[in-house]
Amino acid sequence: MEARKPLLRRGFHQAKWDEPIIFELSQPGERGILVPQAEAGVRAEAGEPWNHLPQTMTRKAPPALPELSQARVLRHYLRLSQATLGADLNIETGQGTCTMKYSPKVNEKFPSSSKVAELHPFQDDETAQGILEIIHKTDMLLREISGLGRFSFQPGGGSQAALAIASIIRAYHDSRGEGKQRDEIITTVFSHPCNAATAAVKGFKIVTIYPDQDGYPDFEALKSAVSQRTAGLMITNPEDTGVFNPRIKEFTRIVHEAGGLCSYDQANANGILGVTRAKEAGFDLCFFNLHKTFSSPHGCGGPGSGAVGVTKELERFLPVPVVDFDGEKYSLNYDLSDSIGKVKMFYGGIQAVVRAYAWIMSLGAEGLEAVARTAVLNSNYLLSKIRKIQGVEVPYASGKHRFEQVRYSWGPLTEGTGVTTEDVQRRMCDFGLHYWTSHHPWIVPEPFTLEPTESYSKQELDEYVEALQEISREAYENHEVVKNAPYRSVVHKISPEWFDDPDKWAISWRSYLKKHGGKVET
C-alpha cells in the first residue's frame, strides 16, 4: 500500500466558538420571526377575547425569553451544532450497546417530505394509505426478522418498549387471575437497565441474575429464582458484554414451565439478523430499536422508535391502534380485546419507521445477513487488536469469539497508572473520537464497550485502535497528560461540584442567576 497520512489525528481540534448562553445575546426589541396576525375582519368580529379571561388565567408579564434577530438565532445554533460531534462526523464505535451505524442520507428525504411531515394522526385512513402501508409492511418485515406474530410501533424508544412489555406481562397475568401472585421479573445484570427499571414501574420485584465465572448468566441462579411468583424474564442476548448465552432456550423453557412469559431485549440485534431469532429461542415478546439496528439517526437522544413484537397469542394485549390490511385497504384497528391501552400518543415515532422501512428495503434479506456478519467481523477484529494494548483486559468467555460488541476493562491500566476509563474518555475527545464507558453498575472494573457496527472501514477501526494505543502509552509514560485531558475538545475539564449540590445546581439560566449571582450582560 502506498504511503498515507498517519491515522491518528494529532492535529485535530474541534470547533470552539465560545458561544454565549442565548440569554446573554438578547437585545430587547429585536425579532426573530413575525407571526401571522388575525385578519382585520376577524379582529373586528372576534375582538380581544383575552381581555375577557379571568384575572388568574391571564399572563401578567410577558415571558422573559431572549430577543434576537433571525440570523443571530441561526448563527447561535449553527455554532452549537459545530460544537457537537455527531455520528456523521466521527467513528462512532465507542458507544457500545447503541449500534451507532450510518444513517443513510437518502432516508432523511422521506420523513422530511411533506408527505410524512404534514400528516395529521386523525386524518381519515383513506387519505393516509401510504403511511399506513409503510407501517404495515415494516411490521411484516420485523415479523420475518423475529419470527414473532405482530408488531406495534407505538413506544418512542427502547425503554418505553420495555415498559410496554412489562405492561403486557402484567395484563397477561391479570387476565388469568394471577396478577397478584406473579410479582417477580427476572433479568440479568448485563441486560440494559431499562428492563429492570420499567418492570419496577409496573410494580414487579426484580430478581437479577449475575454472570457465572465464565461470564454467562448463571443457569443455577435462574433455576432457583423461578417460582409461582415468576411473571416473566426480560433479558438480552448477546448480553452487553458481547457474550452470547448458548443456553438461552433452556432459560426460556424454565421460565415457561414456571408459568412466566419471556421477553427478548433486542434493542440491539445487529449481530444476529437472519442468524438467530426470538422465535427459535422460545421468546413470547421482543423489541427492536429502529434507531439502532435499523439505522434511524439518534437525534441527540430521540425521537426514536421501540418496536414491540409479540406472538399471535399475545396480540390482543398490544397498545392500540395497530395497522390492519384487508388485502385492499390499510386501516387503524382499535379493537384489541385486552389492550394495555396506550403508552404513547398516536402511533409512535413514525419518522423512524419510515427510515427503517427504507433501510431494510435497500438491503433485503441477504443484505441484512451481510450487515450482521460484517458487524461481528468488525467487532472481533477490534477485539483482536485491542487485547494487545497494554492495560486492557477482556473479562469473561475466555477464548471465545464475541458478537457485535465487547466489554473491555482498563482495570490493569488503572492499577498501574491511576488513569481511569473516564480519563481515557476525556482524552479520546482530543483525537476527534467519542468513547463511552458502560452502563452501571460497573461489575467489570473501569469498563468500556465498543460496537463497531458494519458502518466503518478497517482503516477507520485501525484509527480508533491507534487512539486507544496512544492513550495507553501516554498513561504509562506520563499519566498527567491523560488525567488533565481534554485539550483540543470544545471545553476543558468540567468542575463537577455544581451537579449534585442542591444549593449549586442550576438546571436553567434563571436558576444560575439566582444561585450564583451572575448578571446578564447586555
Partner 1 sequence: MGKHRVSHPYIPNSVPEVQKQMMQEIGITHIEELYCDIPGELRFKGEMNMPEPLVSEWQLVRHMEQILSKNQTAKEALSFLGAGCYRHYVPAICDEIAGRAEFLTAYAGEPYEDHGRFQALFEYQSMMAELLDMDVVNVPTYDWCQAASTALRMAGRITNRTEVLVAGNTNPQRLLAIGNYCHPAMKVHPVEYNRETGRLDIQGLKGKLTDNVAAVYLENPNYFGVIESDGAAIAGIAHENGSLFVVGSDPISLGILAPPSHYGADIACGDIQSLGIHMNFGGGVAGFVATQDTEEYVAEFPFRLFGIARTEVEGEWGFGDVYYDRTSFAKRELGKEFVGTAAALWGITAGVYLALMGPKGMQEIGRAIMQNSYYAASNLSEIQGVSIRNTGSPFFREFVANFDESGLTVARVNMALREKGIWGGKDISREFPELGQSALFCVTEMHTREDIWILCDALREIIASGKATVEGEATANRIAMAEEKARGNGKGERQ
Per rule CB under 8 A, is residue 104 in the interface with partner 1? yes
Of the candidates 176, 364, 418, 478, which one interacts with partner 1 according to CB under 8 A?
Answer: 364
108 sits near partner 1 (criterion: CB under 8 A): yes
Minimum CB separation from partner 1 for residue 393, in Å? 19
Please report, as residue ranges, which positions from 275 to 314 form the binding site for partner 1 (by CB under 8 A).
Answer: 275-277, 280-281, 289, 291, 297-304
Can you tell me which of 2, 4, 6, 18 binds partner 1, judged by CB under 8 A?
A: 18
Given candidates 138, 148, 151, 157, which one binds partner 1 under the rule CB under 8 A? 157
> Considering beta carbons, is residue 74 or 415 the nearer one to partner 1?
74
Closest CA to 156 of 315, 296, 264, 271: 296
CA distance 19 to 317: 50
Part of the chain binding partner 1 (CB under 8 A), chosen from 3-11, 220-228, 244-252, 255-263? 244-252
Residue from 9, 79, 256, 479 touching partner 1 (CB under 8 A): that is 79
Instruction: Give the number of C-alpha atoms closer than 13 A to the C-alpha of residue 369, restricted to the C-beta side.
Output: 7
Tell which residue, 235, 231, 205, has the closest CA to residue 219: 235
Per-residue binding string, partner 1, 473-502, x by CB under 8 A, is: -------------x--xxxxxxxxxxxx-x
| Least distance between partner 1 and beta carbon 235 (Å) | 14
Beta carbons of 307 and 328 less than 8 angstroms apart: no
Place of cell 388469568: 176
CA dihedral of residues 489, 492, 495, 499 (deg, nearest 10): -30
Q: Taking the complex as a whole, how short is the minimal distance between the CB of residue 86 and partner 1, in angstroms?
A: 4
* Dihedral sign computed on CA atoms, order 113, 116, 120, 123: positive
Grid cell locating 221 = 441462579
Q: Does 438 contact partner 1 by CB under 8 A?
A: no
- Kindly write out the interface string for residues 381-400 of this chain, putting x where it contacts partner 1 by CB under 8 A and - elsewhere: x-xxx--------------x
**Candidate residues 93, 152, 160, 188; the one interacting with partner 1 per rule CB under 8 A:** 160
Query: In this structure, are residues 356 and 269 in contact, taking their beta carbons and an 8 Å threshold?
Result: no
Instruction: Classify residue 177 by its DSSP letter.
Output: T
**Closest distance to partner 1 from the beta carbon of 390 (Å):** 18
Binder among 360, 392, 467, 471 for partner 1 (CB under 8 A): 360
When asked if residue 121 is in the footprint of partner 1 (CB under 8 A), the reply is yes
DSSP string, 35-57: PPPPPHHHHHHH--GGGGS-GGG
Spatial CA neighbour of 515 closest among 507, 503, 500: 503
- Cα→Cα distances 291→85, 121, 229, 419, Å: 18, 21, 35, 33
Nearest residue (CB) to partner 1, 27 versus 390:
27
Nearer to partner 1, 374 or 417 (CB): 374
